[in-house]
Structure 1
């Protein structure tokens, strides 16, 4: 059975209501070289940030992931109304000063002072961390599950696309492998014909021709590059089939494949080889772009 390959982009949402508290967790991610995680949550839940990261990191290994957590309470026990007495007294004093300044009285200074910022505040009470964590965890688990499922589905699509491009590369390598020897034979025939034409009936030295052909064949020999490309294609399929965190491995492998294709291109001495090499490099580049999305 083949292993699972995941994309680095995804989205997941989870929701849970427990004891008059509602938690909503949303996760989204984009490509990133490392595992960069940001948690945005209410100040009253700040102590849980480390636990949240540790749980998510059990299933997420690479990418830039943003986690958003909202918390709504339906219980008065979770809310504390506070009065800033010193601030209220200061406002009342200034209101009395205004009465003196303008010679007018204010009949409801208390109501007016209460409307000023920070005189009366509403804060969530600090409950026991384990109680809150127990209520939050189901929403987090649901979000992580949906998040991973989406990344897995997209990863499977990327895997199939890469395998399709690998098959195309394999066909192009086979073409290069077929064309290369033919080019040498054709060069020898053209060389013989040209020499006979130039020498006008004088016998051609077969040893000299053989030497020239050998030099030409050596300069254009791509046997080693073809062998390495064939080996890299086998490794690429094995890595994808094994699954897991394949992004960095494939990135290195594609660099090697690109190096071999560049060498073949530099040795190409026939229009058919040039055409096949251009297509080969194009397919390798397409794979390189795709693997940037893999975890």
Structure 2
């Protein structure tokens, strides 16, 4: 299964100029756009003309069947193929408008007369079955646009997965670099404690038992080794990297789990830095946090 981004865009049109099709409402064209950006949940919004408002529930059902997360906006517009030319009311339409106006003014004498713009608007939308005509093609048009957007999200998701794989390899290399540094640091510190023990014995001139001084030095060296040991952090970090790789291979709805694992990676990198006893370990911790932050930004876009 693919990894899907929450970012995508697609559009589709249906009208007199569409190949092999003819607009159901004469010379008008239906255009539909779907835009999607990242969000914690699935957030749908619709901007539809009045003729299509009744079909919003069907569009919502279609989108929820394919999308799990993201802020998704659906826009639809009905345009005229003749470049916005004024409608040509028929004499019958005008007669009906005049008759309706006379009836209304007989009951409501203060009602204002119809203007030219009112007449044009009423004549252009007076065909009562237009909404039903558009509704017959809207589901197929929305399905076409939705499929195109899902494919766009899959392509973007593939790019994000490739970037995450690259960062995972870099993090694993840094962890492997940090692991052999710990025994070296412990041995260096043990040597320092032994030297300090010898200096203390020379200054004490027998006032302190050699065995007690040596035990104290070894105790301090052991405590230091425990304090700077990051083997546990490196092991947990590696297990998180393995789990992230598994999720990327599995695909599907993995964004929330990836976000949690990124938080855990950041925690282990912080702990490694707090235990740092050498400049090299500090540098490794900083480099890890930079890579993890880059991953966090991209994971926010994964469904």
TM-score (norm. length: structure 1): 0.82
Distance in 2, Cα, partners of 1:29 & 1:277? 36
CA shift, 1:73, in A, is 6.8
> Which range moves more in the overlay, 127-136 or 37-46?
127-136
CA–CA distance in 1 between the matches of 2:219 and 2:186?
12
Structure-2 residue corresponding to 1:64: 71
Q: Does residue 286 of structure 2 align to residue 283 of structure 1?
A: no
Partner of 1:115: 115
- In the alignment, which of 242, 245, 253 is matched to residue 245 of structure 1? 253
**How far apart are residue 19 of structure 1 and its match?**
4.8
Cα distance in structure 2, aligned partners of 1:72 and 1:138: 18
Which has the larger strand fraction? Answer: 1
Task: Tell me the alpha carbon deviations over residues 134-190 of structure 1, each in whole angstroms, 9 at most, x when there is no partner.
Answer: 311222122112111111111111110011011111111111211112111111122
Provide the aligned C-alpha RMSD in A. Answer: 3.0
Provide, for residues 79-138 of structure 1, a one-character-per-residue CA deviation record: whole Å limited to 9, x for no partner. Answer: x77635159859xx89xxxxxxxxxxxxxxxxx955366466232534387754331122
How far apart are residue 224 of structure 1 and its match?
1.3
Cα 1:191–1:233 shift into 2, 3 Å: same
Which string of whole-angstrom CA distances, capped at 9 and with x for unpartnered residues, describes residues 29-59 of structure 1? 1111110011111112111001011112222
Give the aligned partner of residue 20 of structure 1. 23
- Contact kept in structure 1, 2:48 and 2:75, CA below 8 Å: yes
Q: How many Å separate the matches in 2 of 1:138 and 1:247?
A: 29
Equivalent pair of 1:38/1:65 in contact (CA under 8 Å): yes
Q: In the superposition, relative to structure 1, how do residues 28 and 209 fare at CA in structure 2: closer, same or farther (>3 Å)?
A: same
Counterpart for residue 44 of structure 1 = 51
What is the aligned partner in structure 2 of residue 6 from structure 1? 4
SS at match of 1:57: helix
Hey, what's the Cα distance between the residues in 2 that align with 1:259 and 1:116? 70
Q: Provide the residue aligned with 1:270 in structure 2.
A: 278
Indicate conservation of the 8 Å contact 1:44/1:124, yes or no.
Answer: no
Alpha-carbon separation, structure 2, partners of 1:86 and 1:118: 15
The answer to whether the 8 A contact 2:52-2:135 is kept is no
Change (3 A) 1:115 1:59: same
CA distance in 2, matches of 1:218, 1:113: 92
Match of 1:163 among 162, 165, 171: 165
State which of 260, 264, 267 in structure 1 corresponds to 2:268. Answer: 260
* Equivalent of 1:224 in 207, 228, 232: 232
Unmatched 5+ stretches in structure 1? 95-111
C-alpha distance in 2 between matches for 1:229 and 1:87: 80
Count of aligned pairs: 273
TM-score between both structures, scaled by the size of structure 2: 0.80
User: 4-13 vs 133-142, which deviates more?
Assistant: 133-142
Quote the offset at 1:199 in angstroms: 4.3
Aligned twin of 1:214 = 222
